Structures are given as C-alpha cells and as structure tokens.
Chain A
Amino acid sequence: MQQYDVSMSLGAKQGQMKSWERIGLVMLSFGVLGMLAAFLGAGDNQLMPFLAGLVMLATGGILYTRNRGKFLIFSLLLFTGGLLSLSFLWFKLHINASVWLIWISGFTALGALIYTYQRFGKGISGIENNHIFHTEISRPGGTITWFLSITFTGFYVLLYWFPGYLHGLIYVTEPFFQWFIGKDTIYYTQDGSISGYNQWYLYGFIYTLAVLIMGIRFIFKYRHNRYQIVRTVSVMFFQLFIAFLLPGVLEKLNATGSQVETFYFSYFWPLDYDALFPSNLAHIATLGMFGKFLIYWMLIGAFVAVPVLTYFFGKRWYCSWVCGCGGLAETAGDPFRHLSSKSLKSWQIERITIYSVLVLIFLITVLLLSNWRWDFLNSDIALSLKKGYGFGISSIFAGVIGTGFYPILGNRVWCRFGCPQAAILGILQKYFSRFRITTNGAQCISCGNCSTYCEMGIDVKYYAQRGQNIVRASCVGCGVCSAVCPRGVLKLENSSVKNRTTLSLDHASLDLFD
C-alpha cells in the first residue's frame, strides 16, 4: 500500500487535495508549460528546440509508461511540453512575445498564489511540516528533489556559458526590457545573424518573480509569526525595488543619455567581488557626481554599515533581511531548508571553505589595488586573477552550486560554504555583536526540530539542551528555529553583550545541565 505520495506533501493535512488546490496546481502547470515551450520553441532558433522537443516527448512518454503512478503529473508535463514546442516549430507559430510573457508569468504567479493560499494560508495557522521527510518531492535524495537539482543546475550552466540555448526565454522577455530599460537583449550583426545576448535581465526577471511568489508562500506558511512576515516583506522589497526596478531605471536613464549607470545598491564588497577592483573604480570615477556618490555608498556600506548594524542586530540585518542571495534562499529555497547537513564534519568543512574564499578575494583585491599604484604585475596575470575568481567562485560556486544544489545541500549552500560577505558578518557577529539566540532555561526536550529546520546546518539543539545561548558565526537569524520549537525555548535577541555566551540561568537552583 502506498503510504506517502507526492500529493501528501503537496496536498492538505488530510492527505487529500481540495479542488482549489488542484486548480492552483493546474494553472501553475500552464505557466511552467508556457515557460518550457518558450524555452524550446520561441524565437527564430530552430534546430535546438526541435531536438529538445523530441527528447522531452520521449522522456515524458517513457516515464509515463514505465512508472505511471509515481510520476504521472510530471511525465504528462514533459510530454505536453515537448508536444507544444514541436507544434510551435511545425506551424512556424510566432506568438507575440508579450502575450507569451504574460501567459507564463500570469499563470505561474496566479496558480502559485491560489495553490499556496489554499495549502498554507487558510484555516488555523501553525507549523506545517507534515510529510516533509516522507515524500519524493522534499525528502533527502527524493526523486523529484534530484530532478529539481539537475534542472536548476542546468539552467545556471546555460545562463552563464550558453545563453544561446535560452534564446526562447530571452526572446520572450525582450519586448518588456526594450520598454523598461530601453535596450535590446538580443544582439544582431549587420547581416542579421545573432551576435550575442544579454541574458542577465531575463535572469533578474525570473529571480525577482521567484522571490515574490515564494515570498508570499512563505508569508502564508508563517502567517502566525510576525517576525517572519516582516523579514520576508523586507527581502521581497529589496529584491523588487533595489535589485530589480532601480537598476532597470538607471539603465534606462543611461540609455537616454544621462551620466548614470546601472548599479546594485544592496550588494557590497566582497560579495560584489569586483567593487574595489581598479578597473571598476576607474570606471566609476568617469561618472561624475553619480560616480562620487557610488564610491561613498560602496565604502560606507562595506566598512561602516556592515560593522555597525551587525553590532546592533547580528548578521541577520543583511543575510535574511536585505541580501538578494539570502532573499532567494529564504523564499524560493525555503522548501529545502531541512536538507542542510547538521554533522560536525560539515561544520568543519564549512569553516575551511568560507574563510578560504574570504582570504582569496581579500588577497586578490589588495594585490590588484597595489598593482594599480605600483604596477608590478603584468596585466595578463592581473586579468587572469580577476577572471579566475569570477569564473570559479562567482559563477560556479555562488551560481551553479549555490542555487543548483538547493535540493541536495539545503538552501544556503553559497551563504554557508562560500560567501565572503557572510564570512565577515559572521566574524563580527561572533565577536562584536549583541545578537544571540537565547535558550529559555530548561524547557528544551531535545526534540531536534530547531536543528532540522536550520538552513545553515547549525545543531541548535546541542546548545538548547544544555541551556546555553547560541552564538554562532554562521547564524543568519532567520528565526525558524524559534518558530518550530514546540516548547517556546528559543528567542532571537539583541540585548546587552553581558552574559551573552553563558548559560542562561543563574546556577543557584537551576544549574541543571551543561
């Protein structure tokens, strides 16, 4: 007897989906299908979509016949996607790109909202973690978790190095960006063949849509917890306004001749790894007043705001309230938070890797800056250092692994193992901050919910069951440990640094455990 199926974790508590949940999922599928079809068939690229359409048709068909029950929806989706894209090619259908974009984002957003509202937003609010470790869609090593990981990773590989394969999607979003930023995203040569792409606006579009949709899902899920709501609204705000709309507006001003340039105000060195590279500084210097402002902004952000705000609030002010990487992890990544490893081994690995990346970018930055002044390296070496970091760390680590491996290593892969900004914030948090997670006396029953749902892989209960406050460099202050605790044991606090790391109870009569 099949005990757990996908519908159990997708569906209602009673193991059966309500009709509106189904409607939401169907609409969501329309959106995803549109995306698949656009990916495969939109625009004037012909051969690739034909081959991919065939592959999808075949995979969907094989999956359906071999394993009807388990992957029913999934195989049908693949099959229909393949069929759609082939028919687009066959009939040389050139659907208007804007219609296509509205179709994709409209159905995806509306379907997801209907579904997540039905699933999480109604009835009695509370912790909704039933069957997470039972079903293929969310258990560690589940079939669908693997599939999602391969899909995400594949998308990032195409995005970074083979944007031509994303022609369909770039084509679909181009009219929107022509209107919004006043620039093309597909470039043509004189004779009409494609010479290149700017895929980053497509990326920003998908990224922002994911943060918004999944952010609303998160708010539904934790609607009884105002800390979670405020924090999620914050990351959604920063992604939409500061990391998507504002850079777009600047780009448009740039296109219309103003002396400004697109800029991401919510990222600082060293996460914005080339911010202090000579080439970048020299370029900004050419931007007049605007350039001057940027220089101040970058310096104040990296060297004043980071230590001061971290002293008062912990690293969470950035990692789970402002940062775009953190924003994606907290929203789109939330369904994967339990997949982070809590072993002592992974903590040891994490400390090595994250501080190595920090040392690396620090050295490269210092080297390039001193070379600018004293000119002792030949320009090839300087360039290759820059490129090496950009490729190895920024693209592969932060992008491909950082997001592609959400379903394998949890939603904070990059933040935990790589991000040099998180490393700096973490050192500050550990040694120069008022932030801690207070353990409430001796109420802990060692149940393990806090550790399980810690996206950073901190073994929270190790501290909680000893009655000890949690002061860890990696904690991003998402507050989910406190939310899932069934006994009211954990609270994120910024109170005075006195007694911050000691056991929380005076030892007179309640010195119980250590």
Chain B
Amino acid sequence: MHIVIIGNGVAGVTAARYIRKQSDYDITIISAETEYFFSRTALMYVFMGHMRFKDIKPYEDGFWAKNRINLMMAFVNKIDTDKQIVSLSSNRIIQYDKLILATGSVYNKFGWPGENLEGVQGLYSYQDLQLLEQNVKNTRQALIVGGGLIGIEMAEMLASRGVQVSFLVREQSYWNNVLPPEESKMVGRHIKAHHFDLRLGAELKEILSDDQGHVRAAISTAGEEFPCQLLGLTAGVKPNITLAESSGTIECERGILVNEFLETNIKDVYAIGDCIQHRIAPEGRKVFEQVWYTGKIMGKTLASTICGKPSPYHPGIWFNSAKFLDLEYQVYGFVPNILENPFQSLYWEHEDGMKSIRIVYDVSKENQVIGFNLMGIRYRHEICVRWIRENKKLDEVVQHLALANFDPEFFSRYEKEIQALA
C-alpha cells in the first residue's frame, strides 16, 4: 500500500506520522516548498531574527528516515484519479493507492489594479518570506492591506527592520468580525501605541507603479495616497485548490469538498488541512477553519480511517490563540463578536487597558457558560473546556475562576475583582 501525501505542512505531516504509528504502509510526502516540515506560524520569528530557519523545524532532520517517511521535494503538476497517479513537473509519474491532499491555502487578491507589481506580496510560504527579505531591502515605508492576524505579524516584522508601517483595515475596529468590541478596541489601542499608522474603515483602491514596474504608492478608496515601496496583501487566505481542480474529477467549491471522514467525492482521495471545505460544518464549527491545530486533528483523524478504523472528524470545543505584538489572546468555546440574545457576557478589563477577561453565558439555559475570551491573561485549556463541556453555570465558574488561571507564578491575580462584578 502506497500512501502519497501532497503538502508537507502540519496536516500532511501529522497524517504521515499517525499512519506510520499504526501501519507499515509506504508513505511519501511531496512538497515543492521546503525539504523539511517547518512551523508556518513561526516564519515571522525567522525574519525578525528571534530564530534561524532550522529552529522552526519541529523535528530534527533524521526523524523522517528513522520513521520511514519518504520526503520528496517536487512540484506536482497534475492528478489523474482514474489511473491513480500524480505527475511531477520533472515528468516523473508516481502511483498511489491512497492520495491525501494537504495543499494548504493561498493569500487573497481581489483584483486590485496593480496587485501584481513588484514589491506587492502576501506572506504565507517560505518563498514569500525569501521574497520579503528581498523586498524589504529598499523599503522605508510599507502599507499593509487587511487587518487579520497575518497583517499585524507582517507589520511587526517590517517594523523590526526600521520600516514605517501604515495599516489599512476595512473594518471600523480591528478584527471586529471575530473579537467583541472591547477586545477589538484594545488591540487597536495597542497597535497605535506601537506607532503604527492604523487606518480603520479604510480600503485599497489601487496600487501605483514607478517606471520600473515597482510599487511606489497606493490609493485608498477615500482618495488618500500612501507612498510605499512595499505593499503587504494580508486580506485573508483561501484554500489552495489549483491542483485538485486540475484533476477534473475532484469536486471543489471554494475548497476541496470533504465529508466528515475527510473523503473527497473520489474513492481513495482525501483532503485535510487548510485546503478543504466541509460539506457539512462539524458541530459548533465552521465550514472553513484554517488554524494550526485543526490541521493536526484532521491529520490524526484521517490516519485512523486509512489504517482501518474509520473515524469521523470531531474537533471538539473551539479554541485558539494569537499574539498581537505584545498582547496575548486566547479563546475557549463560543465567543461571538456581537452578543445577542440569549448570549450575555461578564466582562472585566484591567485599568491599564491591556488585560481583559470575558466569560460568555447563555441566559436561556440558566446562565450556562459557553466561552472564555482572554487578553493579556492566560487560561488553562483543560479547565475551560471541561467547564463548557459539563455545562457549568456562571456562578460556579466565577467562584472557582482561580483554577483556570495559567499565568506564571507571582503574576497579579484578578479573580476577586471579577467575583465582585458577578
């Protein structure tokens, strides 16, 4: 049995590792990006000099041979699901028994005039990082377009090289399609405190070129001109389905469509990670969830299915985390950006405006707690998820809140203040 995995990101690699744990199948991972698996979310640290590229590889190089996982650095041109082959750009043909597509995502371009000029780029792949190293060299001013997590990372990266960064965000408040208003404002304040020129409610109209086909400025829909030698496109990512579509047989919509067993419409072809779109959203989840750990869970789930234990994808209770410059963020459970009946929340914010705790509960179910949103404070995953799963009520949660705290020792604790609010 030969398992071929296309993509050596976290989803593909996790699938390979768990297939190896449970079977003796031949496993081949094909990637055109890098020789070895690396942590995509850590690329920013390489650019800022916190680490070398070799430090963001989760496994030592000898790991793969030791676990008999073949790594192949090659570009796959086409998939033929009838003949069960993939063809490489080197014209080599590889036969598979089962094929796993883990092709990740690509950053969005929305057809802006000038979006293909030199100096205009997103940040997703290792190649994007190398390009950014080139582009930053002659950059004094940069414009970032799009206010997601990658946008703020890119702003931080460029600032570390002494670049002046302006930041166009379509929303009226930073990331307010995810964060509730108070947290969203907190991030906005923090961005401004770091001297970024944050423009809320601003959109890109067009990108202007100099004589050499390089970006020289950009104009917002409000007509303001931003001189820049580098323009970062960070208006989200979308599933990378180019290869799947090339087969002519694998069904795609915005992503590669999969059922709860992560199977595509073609037998023995599976898809996991950022590139997929769930036909039916998993319980309490969304159709697209492009985060690190969902790729991991999908890889592990699929490995079981392939090794003879068919397992549906159950990601469990939502959680996530991020860091906006110096501001840490964690979320456990359901925290809507706009609280509507029957959901309410208990919100506490530190007087320094850099820490907050929000506990979301359901009034229609006797104040059952459904989510936690933390800024500048760390909470314990295990406890939060257990409380949510066991339908704990607000009173009980608030009373025992100290159990959830995960901040380092000697940090100030705020349970009393929150108990006073409840």
Q: Do residues A509 and B381 form an inter-chain contact, with CB atoms below 8 A? A: no
Does chain A have a CB within 8 A of B406?
Answer: yes
Q: How would residues 201 to 232 of chain A score, 1 for a CB under 8 Å from any chain B CB and 0 otherwise?
A: 00000000000000000000000111101100
Give the shortest distance, in Å, between B219 (CB) and chain A (any CB): 27
Does chain A have a CB within 8 A of B118?
Answer: no
Q: Bound state CA distance, A382 and B326, in angstroms? A: 58
Give the shortest distance, in Å, between B273 (CB) and chain A (any CB): 14
Q: Do residues B49 and A344 form an inter-chain contact, with CB atoms below 8 A? A: no
27 residue pairs from A and B, CB less than 8 Å apart: A14-B162, A126-B325, A127-B326, A130-B49, A131-B48, A131-B160, A132-B49, A132-B50, A133-B52, A225-B408, A227-B408, A227-B409, A229-B410, A440-B380, A440-B381, A441-B319, A441-B382, A446-B10, A446-B42, A448-B42, A448-B51, A479-B409, A486-B328, A487-B321, A492-B408, A512-B293, A512-B297
Q: Bound state CA distance, A487 and B297, in angstroms? A: 18
Give the shortest distance, in Å, between A446 (CB) and chain B (any CB): 4
Q: Do residues A13 and B159 form an inter-chain contact, with CB atoms below 8 A? A: yes
Q: Do residues B45 and A505 form an inter-chain contact, with CB atoms below 8 A? A: no
**CB-based closest 3 A-B pairs:** A441-B381, A126-B326, A15-B162
B408: which of A1, A451, A491 is its contact (CB, 8 Å)?
Answer: A491
Q: Bound state CA distance, A465 and B57, in angstroms? A: 12
B-side contacts of A441, CB under 8 Å:
319, 380-382, 385
Given known pairs A134-B49, A440-B381, A491-B378, the reply for A509 and B160 (CB within 8 Å) is no
Q: Do residues A230 and B410 form an inter-chain contact, with CB atoms below 8 A? A: yes
Give the shortest distance, in Å, between A2 (CB) and chain B (any CB): 10
B-side contacts of A344, CB under 8 Å:
60
- Residues of B24-62 contacting chain A, CB below 8 A: 39, 41-42, 45, 48-52, 55-58, 60
B-side contacts of A506, CB under 8 Å:
382, 386
Q: Do residues B58 and A488 form an inter-chain contact, with CB atoms below 8 A? A: no
Given known pairs A124-B326, A441-B381, the reply for A488 and B406 (CB within 8 Å) is yes
Q: How would residues 321 to 334 of chain B score, 1 for a CB under 8 Å from any chain A CB and 0 otherwise?
A: 11101101010000
B-side contacts of A446, CB under 8 Å:
10, 39, 42, 56, 58, 292
Q: Bound state CA distance, A445 and B407, in angstroms? A: 18
Does chain A have a CB within 8 A of B365?
Answer: no
Q: Bound state CA distance, A443 and B293, in angstroms? A: 8
B-side contacts of A378, CB under 8 Å:
none
Q: Do residues A447 and B56 form an inter-chain contact, with CB atoms below 8 A? A: yes
A130: which of B39, B58, B160, B330 is its contact (CB, 8 Å)?
Answer: B160
Give the shortest distance, in Å, between A274 (CB) and chain B (any CB): 36
Q: Do residues B160 and A445 form an inter-chain contact, with CB atoms below 8 A? A: no
Q: Bound state CA distance, A513 and B18, in angstroms? A: 9
A452: which of B41, B55, B412 is its contact (CB, 8 Å)?
Answer: B55
Q: Do residues A492 and B409 form an inter-chain contact, with CB atoms below 8 A? A: yes
Q: Bound state CA distance, A135 and B50, in angstroms? A: 11
Other than the known A127-B326, A512-B293, what 20 A-B pairs have Cβ atoms closer than 8 Å?
A: A15-B161, A16-B162, A124-B190, A130-B50, A131-B160, A132-B50, A133-B50, A134-B49, A225-B411, A226-B411, A440-B381, A443-B321, A445-B292, A446-B10, A446-B39, A452-B51, A504-B382, A506-B382, A509-B316, A510-B381
User: In the complex, what residue of chain B is closest to A505 when comparing beta carbons?
Assistant: B382
Q: Do residues A449 and B300 form an inter-chain contact, with CB atoms below 8 A? A: no
Q: Do residues A510 and B316 form an inter-chain contact, with CB atoms below 8 A? A: yes
Q: Do residues B321 and A488 form an inter-chain contact, with CB atoms below 8 A? A: yes
Does chain A have a CB within 8 A of B137?
Answer: yes
Does chain A have a CB within 8 A of B193?
Answer: yes
Give the shortest distance, in Å, between B61 (CB) and chain A (any CB): 10
User: In the complex, what residue of chain B is closest to A443 when comparing beta carbons?
Assistant: B321
- Residues of B161-186 contacting chain A, CB below 8 A: 161-162
Q: Do residues B314 and A509 form an inter-chain contact, with CB atoms below 8 A? A: yes
User: In the complex, what residue of chain B is closest to A226 when comparing beta carbons?
Assistant: B410
Does chain A have a CB within 8 A of B254?
Answer: no
- Residues of A1-55 contacting chain B, CB below 8 A: 1, 3-4, 9, 13-16
Q: Bound state CA distance, A204 and B130, in angstroms? A: 48
Q: Do residues B49 and A447 form an inter-chain contact, with CB atoms below 8 A? A: no
Does chain A have a CB within 8 A of B194?
Answer: yes
Q: How would residues 348 to 380 of chain B score, 1 for a CB under 8 Å from any chain A CB and 0 otherwise?
A: 000000000000000000000000000000111
A-side contacts of B49, CB under 8 Å:
4, 9, 129-135
Does chain B have a CB within 8 A of A343?
Answer: yes
Does chain A have a CB within 8 A of B389?
Answer: yes
Given known pairs A130-B49, A131-B160, A486-B323, the reply for A451 and B316 (CB within 8 Å) is no
Does chain B have a CB within 8 A of A98?
Answer: no
Q: Do residues A510 and B385 form an inter-chain contact, with CB atoms below 8 A? A: yes
Given known pairs A226-B408, A442-B319, A447-B42, the reply for A461 and B48 (CB within 8 Å) is no
Does chain A have a CB within 8 A of B401?
Answer: no
A-side contacts of B160, CB under 8 Å:
13, 15, 130-131
Does chain B have a CB within 8 A of A482?
Answer: yes
Q: Bound state CA distance, A441 and B317, in angstroms? A: 12
User: In the complex, what residue of chain B is closest to A230 when comparing beta carbons?
Assistant: B410
Does chain B have a CB within 8 A of A483?
Answer: yes
Q: Do residues B408 and A449 form an inter-chain contact, with CB atoms below 8 A? A: no
User: In the complex, what residue of chain A is closest to B51 when comparing beta carbons?
Assistant: A452
Does chain B have a CB within 8 A of A125?
Answer: yes
